[in-house]
Chains A and B, each alone.
Chain A
Amino acid sequence: MTRAVYAATLGVGLALLAWGAAAVTWPLERALFWIRSSGWLAAGLLLLAILVTPLARRLRSPSRALPSLRRALGISAAASATAHAALSLGTHLDGAWAQVASLAWLRAGALAWLVLAALWLTSYPGAVRALRVKLWKPLHRLALVAALLAFQHALLSPLAARGWVLGVFGVAAAAWLTRLIPQGRSSTPSQASSQSQT
């Protein structure tokens, strides 16, 4: 059932994107459309993956499906980022590999992808066992670093709308920071009343 939902979501999403791309007549802009779509998708999925746990805690809805949802989002983010990088290098950047290292926004994007690729590789139990990964959490906490690098990448890139970049990453940062707010315990009216009298 879950797989079917994933597949259906993916199919509908891709169909919508293909429909959007078909409306673009200039081949170069069509390539840009796919690059931007895959980039936003990667960023959105990455932010959602990071936010799953704090939001679930805040909403007090711990679920056994949480780790698998987080994992699915993370893997999808890494896959989208890979598609974004491949499309960029294959079309818009026209194989300008040297620029990836020299320009700050491209370098940040490449670093974010490297981090996500490492996390992707270690997201499968089989791979973790084969690689004898013992410090899994310190590695996967780099998802936060990847998000910061993605922010830098998007903020400095020439074609991303700055308002959207600030809005999306700002909302995500605010949501993530809610984990720093101590969660109060629910109390009955009588308890609250007795506390106020003491």
Chain B
Amino acid sequence: MRGLRLQLGLVLAASALWAALPHPSFAAWLGSYAAVWLVAQALVARTGWRWTLGRGPTLALGALLLAAPVARAIEAWGPLLERERLDGVAHLTAARLRLERTPSVAPPLVSADRPQTFYLHADGDAVALRLGDGGPRLEATPLGHGLFRVAYDPRRDGLADPPDGALEATIEVDGEAHRRELLAVRPLPHPRALAPSPSRARAAAVSEETDELAVIDREGHLERVEVLDGPTDVAWLDEARVIVTHRYADAAIVEGDAVTPIDTGPLCVHVAARDGVAAASCHRALVVIEDGRVRRRALSFQPEHVAFGPADTLVVSSRQPPALHRLRLSDLEPDVAPLFLGRPAVTMAAEGGVAVVAVTDFRPDGPAHLGNHFVDDQLVDVDLAAWRPIAWHRTAARTARQRAPGDVDRGVSPLGVDLAPDGTRWVAFAGTDDVWGLRDGRAPTMIALEHTLPTPVSVAALSGDRIAVASAAFGAIAIHAASGRPIALARLAPDDATLMRDDEAALMRRVGERSFYESTRSGVSCQSCHLHGGSDGQRHNIGGGALVATLDARGALGTPPFLRDGGYPTLGSLDELARTLYRGYLRRQGGRRVGLDRWLASQPRPTPPAQLLGRDLARERRGLDAFVRARCGLCHAFPAFTNLGQHPAETIFPDFAASHAGYELDTPSLLGLGESAPYLVDGRAETLAAIFTDHDAARRHGYVEALDEAALADLLHLLEGL
């Protein structure tokens, strides 16, 4: 008993000492204990000192000693957990256990709106995945080494049961059933890409999530037409026909309710049309459709926004490089060198020989500015004939709404541009909920939408001095007079009140989506770099230290911790970045953190192009053999191709660590790798091959020496198709 009292006394004294110097770490407390023990030890050894106080005074002294450390511990609890990486440790451990518990499946998100690929890790020969008791049963293809793949297409296979919410999936391994919990999401309509008809009497938009085309007239009358899988953009061929591009299906011409596919192939993301000729940017190719005939030209870059230029040219933007390209319409060959912008085009519109391009920074003669978290939204006018920028204007602005020094509250994140015949440029700003009408020599028209249709992502000028504005997050298209007066609001998705009553999960996702696009006081939003939840494919100076390649924010569910260094345990905790580093939001929003978490969790990784364009199974199996031989699975473990571990940079890339001491690398999932260049934390590898050939001098990033040239090529093929 005496020994226990002594022990308690030492612990109390050590805690009191720690409270005097309260560094939030276990090391600090242990140091205090060591110091107290040494003092007590010296006292006992030299003087034979013994505790002589009575029980009452001892208890009083103990209580006194206890008060300070308890108060300090309460104060330092949060920082202590953070410093010791114990914040969110339960969440992180649960995610790791979920992946380690075979049979396991990744990703854990089933989206009702697109084809998806799932990987299963199982010890068996015949494996199948059932998406809920009443959902589809999907046979898995064995790839070898206990890895299986399931290609799921909700249009072909049916929806999960339930299609939204927690989903009890079953993995069948040689007839034995194993229950695993997944998340099912069925998104609401998200109208985007408003395109005015030639007469501007109507505008059309598409909702990729719900496979529909929406046509709205100047009075707000809405027609909805079901189209093919994953419509991405729309353009008018004439007053009656539109062409719609699809991510997961061919493009199609829509006339009334008739949908006629055209043999373009899937993965077309943007389209423009003029005089009945359409040009679409597809998977590493440009496609021109004329009188039902399709011409296709492979490109060395991934084309994005497309517009018709002067004298039968096409103008195409790309993220990598962040540039504009001009091609001859006749042979689709470039007729001039690319025009570099510094950052990629966020949106683009062209009319009368001038293209207006929205960018988050403009630097035509060098790399983008590399200031810490540098974002500088601008509209750049490009003379398409002279092929040079002729003007550029910053859009982010301060207004009388400013409540704190430096607040930026208008003109952030221009995501939609339309050039009206009268010369007015209409711009939709998703970050600050406003639409501007800009015309030379006139004061700009500023239409505030925060109370009617927040997060506008697209705008189209209509005849009769009206405009149509689409908000994807809120699933609606509004008609306004050019003066700003609201005329009509057509909803494709339920309003907030209805969701609050019927579908709270969808409402929280909407809150999160709006927050993702919403500007912080600093003029930066999540969307500034993570374009539409993805990545701008650029490198940014984050924190004044290393350059960091922008991560794709989609497909993050089940892969904590987050960010390149794994510094954030939950998706919602990223909200802290906005509240601290970017000085918070202008608008108060309850449940923002939870909403952000739910929305990010609901974003599936992009469907691998190989699932849509065809796979070479034999080669993928050889690639998986190479993957195993090169010991990639040590860190990029099946089935998510990550073990969710964080490594000191020195252990993998000593060369990188030499200039980035103290950097911790979060093991990324390799799912979706083919479309996520540039690679490695700072984007120093432009291609997958370069990771192994140019950026692994120490040979610590896999046992690549075990692979010959053919095996390495097979490995790269596998990785590109994950």
Contact = CB atoms under 8 A, between A and B. Distances in A.
Contact of B706 (A26, A92, A141, A157): A26
A142 B89 contact: no
B387 interface: no
A1 interface: no
Contacts of B93: 155, 162, 166
Nearest to B96: A162
Interface string B24-55: 01110010010001001100110000000000
A163 B101 contact: yes
A17 interface: no
Contact of B662 (A98, A138, A142, A145): A98
Contact of B97 (A28, A32, A138, A163): A163
Interface string B646-658: 1110110010010
B651 A156 contact: no
A166 B30 contact: no
Interface in A109-152: 111, 114-115, 132-135, 137-139, 141-142, 145, 149, 152
A28 B635 contact: no
Contact of B645 (A28, A29, A158): A158
A45 to B, nearest CB: 21
A100 B648 CA distance: 9
Contact of A99 (B45, B101, B648): B648
Interface in A88-104: 92-96, 98-99, 102-104
A15 B654 CA distance: 32
Interface centre among B25, B645, B648, B706 (most CB of A within 10 A): B648
Interface in A19-75: 25-26, 28-29, 32
Contact of B33 (A29, A108, A142, A156): A142
A137 B100 contact: no
Contact of A158 (B6, B25, B635, B650): B635
Interface centre among A104, A133, A137, A149 (most CB of B within 10 A): A104
Given A104-B83, A137-B3, A161 B100 contact: yes
Contacts of A99: 648, 650, 662, 664
Nearest to A91: B651
Contact of A163 (B30, B100, B667): B100
A138 B651 contact: no
A133 B37 CA distance: 10
Nearest to B7: A138
Contacts of A105: 85
Nearest to B36: A138
Nearest to A32: B634
B374 interface: no
Interface residues on A, range: 35 or more
Interface residues on B, range: 35 or more
A141 B10 CA distance: 11
A98 B89 CA distance: 24
A111 B30 contact: yes
A159 interface: yes
A138 to B, nearest CB: 5
Interface in B75-102: 83-86, 89, 93, 96-97, 100-101
Nearest to A148: B26
Mostly helix, strand, loop or mixed at chain B's interface? helix
Contact of B26 (A26, A108, A132): A108
Contacts of B650: 93-96, 99
Contact of A132 (B45, B83, B664): B45
B309 to A, nearest CB: 51
A103 B565 CA distance: 11
Interface string B1-24: 001001100100000000000000
Nearest to A157: B645
A39 to B, nearest CB: 15
Given A162-B93, A163-B100, A135 B37 contact: yes
Contacts of B7: 137-138, 141
Nearest to B100: A163
A25 B84 contact: no
Contact of A138 (B10, B89, B96): B10
A180 to B, nearest CB: 14
B37 A152 contact: no
Contacts of A107: 25-27
B392 interface: no
B315 to A, nearest CB: 46
A85 interface: no
Contacts of B634: 29, 32, 159
B648 A28 contact: no
Interface in B663-722: 664, 667, 699-700, 703, 706
A158 B646 contact: yes
A134 B706 contact: no
A149 B29 CA distance: 12
A134 B41 contact: yes
B663 to A, nearest CB: 9
A1 to B, nearest CB: 33
B84 A159 contact: no
A42 B409 CA distance: 58
Contact of B84 (A145, A152, A161): A152
Contacts of B699: 28
A78 interface: no
B397 interface: no
A149 B26 contact: yes
B648 A135 contact: no
A28 B703 contact: yes
Nearest to A106: B648
Contacts of A115: 30
Interface centre among A99, A106, A142, A152 (most CB of B within 10 A): A99
Contact of A135 (B6, B97, B101, B703): B6
A166 B10 CA distance: 30
Nearest to B44: A134
Contact of B37 (A138, A162, A166): A138
A32 B652 CA distance: 13
B703 A93 contact: no
B647 to A, nearest CB: 5
A115 B699 CA distance: 35
Interface string B321-353: 000000000000000000000000000000000
B647 A158 contact: yes
B654 A94 contact: yes
B661 A98 contact: yes
B89 to A, nearest CB: 7
A138 B25 CA distance: 21
Given A155-B93, A163-B101, A166-B93, A104 B84 contact: yes
14 contacts: A26-B706, A28-B703, A95-B650, A96-B651, A99-B650, A105-B85, A137-B3, A138-B3, A138-B7, A138-B10, A142-B33, A158-B647, A162-B93, A166-B93
Give 9 closest A-B pairs by Cβ, nearest first.
A158-B645, A104-B85, A96-B650, A26-B703, A162-B96, A99-B648, A134-B44, A132-B45, A135-B41
Interface of A: 25-26, 28-29, 32, 92-96, 98-99, 102-108, 111, 114-115, 132-135, 137-139, 141-142, 145, 149, 152, 155-159, 161-163, 166
Interface of B: 3, 6-7, 10, 25-27, 30, 33, 37, 40-41, 44-45, 83-86, 89, 93, 96-97, 100-101, 631, 634-635, 643, 645-648, 650-651, 654, 657, 661-662, 664, 667, 699-700, 703, 706
